[in-house]
Structure 1
Amino acid sequence: MKKMMLINPHKPGRHGEESITVIVQMPLNLAYIKALTPGDWEFDVIDENIELAIDDNGELTFAPVDLVCITSVTYQSPRAYKIATACKRKGMTVIMGGIHASVMPEEASKYVDTVFIGEAEEVWPRVIKDFEAGKLKKVYDGGLPPLNLMKRVFPDREFLRKKYNYKFSSIVTTKGCPNYCDFCSVPTFQGRKFRERPYEDVLEELAATDYKGLMLAEDNFYGHGKRSNERARNLFKGMVERNLQKDWLGFTALNISQDKETLDYMAKSGCFGMLMGIESTNETVLEKMNKQVNLKLGTESYYDCIQKIHDAGLVTWGSVVFGADGDGKDSFKRMTDFILENNIDILTFGINCPFPKTQLYKRLDSEKRIFRKNYPDDWEYYDTAHVVHRLVDMTLEDFIEGMQYVYDHIYAGDNLRKRFRNSIKTTNNPRNSMFAFRVGSDWQQVFDQVLENLRLLYDSGDYYKDYYKSNSVSVSKKPLVESITT
């Protein structure tokens, strides 16, 4: 029997979304590969969030198999290439897919036998047949197929649960985004067309899985426009009517706050709350980002939007961007005040990051501001937890001090517990407020690591190097304030 190893790479010691223990979730794309593979195969999986595929010496931790399939986002790609190299040394065939390989196929092809671009639903069975016939191609493009194809096959969650006993999973209800926020990699990978999965199919999958904890694995489950909003409403109404109670959350935009009926169905179906991209309170910055949904609502309406979500008993998970052009050193206090005054239950963030092929990357590269350009090794910094380009509206010292200010006032000391107590008051829902508190508690270690990353960057001097010239430019540094260095 042929053997296939599925690998989700992870750099040892890194903390990020995967460190939020309350929603640690299985790599759903690998569960789909398992379910889509025709023929008689023996499968195994390595999720490096849990166990390693290679040791400190770059040697494999598993016995050779016939075919290795590796998925990767950008920050994982250096680790993925190391794993692929180790596999090929042992004579194994390696296929790599995921967002980074799809965006950077020429780079990925240097390390693997085959690059898979796009999504697998239509093309993956042909890849397997070509492999079995000894006719594997260098590149396959699965394109962006309609989501009604997902009716034919559900991901094999049970296979992954048997290996790692995941407590949480995810489910696909939409893909793509018609917006074009300059920092976002979704349009470069999943297209600008908003693809919707028939909600009846989603309900069937919800009924077929015994997973209680689920995340809607997309960027905006509520959608864009009245028809999409109605579809989302029908999904949550169907969950209630069919008694498909789940402990779930998802990603959407603030405009959902204006739809009380949908919020009520969400609450009744078991929703904790939702993650929303607030990004910035500065409309000039939002215009540069091309964050149209927030601009249409207007920053002055944020409080009312959040209050309506709280009135439904749901928590608000605010995601913001630090370090965007236009946000100066005063932006940290403004954002902190905003979080506290608007009773945001969970705050997570990303440092503004120019992911490959995005509009932000093209602009910053043209302005010669990116200092992490030793690819592919430097892709490990492209995880929104590192600064990879020079800031224009503040110094690096200002940025570090500002991030410390946010930490001190949102996370440090008794602040998480105070916000938890306030969340219970504003939502009148202890269950959802406890969920928010647990997410915040786990994110604290992520924030600690981000601050450490910033200190290491400052000490290294890399921030001041000009990677666009053969000789780097030296810039003197001023001392960090005592609160940052201690």
Structure 2
Amino acid sequence: MSKKMMLINPHKPGRHGEESITVIVQMPLNLAYIAALTPGDWEFDVIDENIELAIDDKDEITFKPVDLVCITAVTYQSPRAYKIATACKKKGMTVIMGGIHASVMPEEAAKYVDSVFVGEAEEVWPQVIKDFEEGKLKKTYQGGLPPLSLMKKVYPNRELMKKKYNYKFSSIVTTKGCPNYCDFCSVPTFQGRKFRERPYEDVLDEMAATDYKGLMLAEDNFYGHGKKSNERARDLFKGMVERGIHKDWLGFTALNISQDPETLDYMAKSGNFGMLIGIESTNEAVLQKMNKRVNLKLGTDSYFDCIQKIHNAGLVVWGSVVFGADGDDKDSFKRMTEFILENNIDILTFGINCPFPKTQLYARLDSEKRIFRKNYPEDWQYYDTAHVVHRFVDMTLENFIDGMQYVYDHIYAGDSLRTRFRNSIKTTKNPRNSMFAFRVGSDWKQVFEQVLQNLKELYDSGDYYKDCYKSGTVPVSNPVMETVTT
């Protein structure tokens, strides 16, 4: 008789975020990998709480008990993950938790689950299953950072996910890790500072093997951090064209890709919509403090020319910015709005500066006693770049709320989205990609509205002025910094 495993992607009911962008709603690929990596006779089911709930409003499970429950979570999902784990354990089920939050806060996660998986699963997961089957499950497993050549041996079980929820988009891994040291970023915390590249022929084989037309390259910079990496990316897109692997795809990279017309041409021919680029700020002093080196190297004066070159290839620019970084003042919102409009940036999404656990930013803000959401683990729900969790130094909370409203009014409200859609067609001469940009913007509008609501609720609550550092209140719980991570 086969054993049963439930794979769970937690989500707080009612939250809007990147998962609300319907045009790229994508499956949790890490759970699809867990299903594929599991040896032996197992029956799988999956619950993605973006679509259906794993526990009801009484914190009771909504599914029949299984042998093993596997939960993944980023930081803002962790309170929900712990709640689900508690409900599952109450019913006698064994629970394993992995993902970035469990990897950076294993001691915390261990209080709620039977076993914590730290790092990546490719090499160690079969041993976890063997230990479970033999009744020898350990409290912690270290998956480490295995070479990406291992991915040739196993593709994620997309069929399981598609059968359950009919996802429109999937993601695909082509690289992992990042050598940069941006103070707010948690990617190297989880995936290391070494930029690991998957052999591009293997990526092409997986692309050809999946019937998914919509693909997201699941990393922060598919173009890479040097000449060899750039050539590898070019070979990947050239290979897509030569093998006739035409996908509706997008990915994340940096502005320096604009200087490579050959790669942009292959990207356009292979079906690329455009790329998400971390612009973060137009203020070089802010970029300096963030340690955003690639943008500093190009220089903010060159942004217009870089974006123009990408548009000339028929591709859209999805700009991602950070609001509320130290050095930003009340006028920075107006400057950013003007920058977005003057540079014809097709999509604007953003994150509120957020001190994720074990980042340099957390250590600095905590040492300055500026974090006011410290009731962990419950307060991790606010660490999602859609809430303010620390006090500003260069503006008031009122300044910040007014500034965010200004950006919304000029980039999203009224006819702004339609005007920018028409402008995208004019600058890219590509109606398909421009329509993609318009649809992302339309979905992000509701995300932005929820962020404005979050800010108003924060203002009304008075929590912004709460002092979490007085003795007798919540203890300072800055995790020890890991020198090899962000």
**Equivalent position of 1:475 in the other structure:** none
User: Is 1:24 the equivalent of 2:29?
Assistant: no
1:206 and 1:386 map into 2 onto residues whose CA distance is 36
CA-CA distance at 1:33 after TM superposition:
0.3
1:465 and 1:381 map into 2 onto residues whose CA distance is 15
Pairs within 5 Å for 1:134-153: 134-153=135-154
TM-score normalised over the length of structure 2? 0.97
CA-CA distance at 1:470 after TM superposition:
4.3
**Equivalent position of 1:434 in the other structure:** 435
Instruction: Report SS of the residue matched to 2:373.
Output: coil
1:3 and 1:420 map into 2 onto residues whose CA distance is 48
Pairs within 5 Å for 1:174-253: 174-253=175-254
User: Is 1:69 the equivalent of 2:81?
Assistant: no
CA-CA distance at 1:154 after TM superposition:
0.3
**Equivalent position of 1:358 in the other structure:** 359
1:426 and 1:415 map into 2 onto residues whose CA distance is 16
Deviations 1:278-297 (A, max 9, x none): 00000000000000000000
Moved over 3 A (4+): none
Equivalent residue letter for 1:453: N
Equivalent residue letter for 2:239: G
**Equivalent position of 1:289 in the other structure:** 290
Instruction: Report SS of the residue matched to 2:282.
Output: coil
2:142 and 2:387 map into 1 onto residues whose CA distance is 31
Unaligned runs of 5+ in 2: 474-486
Instruction: Report SS of the residue matched to 1:142.
Output: strand
**Equivalent position of 1:262 in the other structure:** 263
Equivalent residue letter for 2:380: W
Pairs within 5 Å for 1:452-467: 452-467=453-468
Instruction: Report SS of the residue matched to 2:144.
Output: coil
Deviations 1:289-332 (A, max 9, x none): 00000000000000000000000000000000000000100000
1:13 and 1:431 map into 2 onto residues whose CA distance is 31
**Equivalent position of 1:111 in the other structure:** 112
Deviations 1:33-80 (A, max 9, x none): 000000000110000000000000100000100000000000000000
CA-CA distance at 1:135 after TM superposition:
0.4
Instruction: Report SS of the residue matched to 2:469.
Output: coil
Instruction: Report SS of the residue matched to 2:14.
Output: coil
Instruction: Report SS of the residue matched to 2:97.
Output: strand
**Equivalent position of 1:478 in the other structure:** none
CA-CA distance at 1:471 after TM superposition:
7.5
1:270 and 1:390 map into 2 onto residues whose CA distance is 43
CA-CA distance at 1:171 after TM superposition:
0.2
2:419 and 2:208 map into 1 onto residues whose CA distance is 38
TM-score normalised over the length of structure 1? 0.97
**Equivalent position of 1:278 in the other structure:** 279
1:170 and 1:179 map into 2 onto residues whose CA distance is 23
Instruction: Report SS of the residue matched to 1:355.
Output: coil
1:173 and 1:180 map into 2 onto residues whose CA distance is 21
Deviations 1:427-464 (A, max 9, x none): 00000000000000000000000000000000000001
Instruction: Report SS of the residue matched to 2:274.
Output: strand
2:146 and 2:463 map into 1 onto residues whose CA distance is 42
Instruction: Report SS of the residue matched to 2:304.
Output: helix
In the alignment of these two chains, the number of paired residues is 472
**Equivalent position of 2:93 in the other structure:** 92
Unaligned runs of 5+ in 1: 473-486
Equivalent residue letter for 1:355: F
2:470 and 2:445 map into 1 onto residues whose CA distance is 38
CA-CA distance at 1:410 after TM superposition:
0.2
Q: Please give the root-mean-square deviation of Cα atoms over the aligned residues, in Å.
A: 0.6
Deviations 1:129-169 (A, max 9, x none): 00000000000000000000000000010110000011110
Instruction: Report SS of the residue matched to 1:181.
Output: coil
2:148 and 2:360 map into 1 onto residues whose CA distance is 27
**Equivalent position of 2:394 in the other structure:** 393
2:22 and 2:325 map into 1 onto residues whose CA distance is 29
Equivalent residue letter for 2:219: E
CA-CA distance at 1:31 after TM superposition:
0.3
Equivalent residue letter for 1:139: T
**Equivalent position of 2:368 in the other structure:** 367
2:376 and 2:23 map into 1 onto residues whose CA distance is 34
Identity of aligned residues (%): 88
**Equivalent position of 1:321 in the other structure:** 322
1:381 and 1:159 map into 2 onto residues whose CA distance is 31
**Equivalent position of 1:480 in the other structure:** none
CA-CA distance at 1:269 after TM superposition:
0.1
Equivalent residue letter for 1:66: D
Deviations 1:223-260 (A, max 9, x none): 00000000000000000000000000000000000000
**Equivalent position of 1:127 in the other structure:** 128
Instruction: Report SS of the residue matched to 2:251.
Output: strand
Deviations 1:168-199 (A, max 9, x none): 10000000000000000001110000000000
**Equivalent position of 2:452 in the other structure:** 451
**Equivalent position of 2:350 in the other structure:** 349
Instruction: Report SS of the residue matched to 2:241.
Output: helix
Equivalent residue letter for 2:64: A
User: Is 1:413 the equivalent of 2:417?
Assistant: no
**Equivalent position of 1:479 in the other structure:** none
**Equivalent position of 1:481 in the other structure:** none
Equivalent residue letter for 1:419: R
User: Is 1:4 the equivalent of 2:11?
Assistant: no
Deviations 1:64-106 (A, max 9, x none): 0000000000000000000000000000000000000000000
1:85 and 1:346 map into 2 onto residues whose CA distance is 40
1:134 and 1:127 map into 2 onto residues whose CA distance is 10
User: Is 1:384 the equivalent of 2:385?
Assistant: yes
Equivalent residue letter for 2:427: T
2:316 and 2:471 map into 1 onto residues whose CA distance is 51
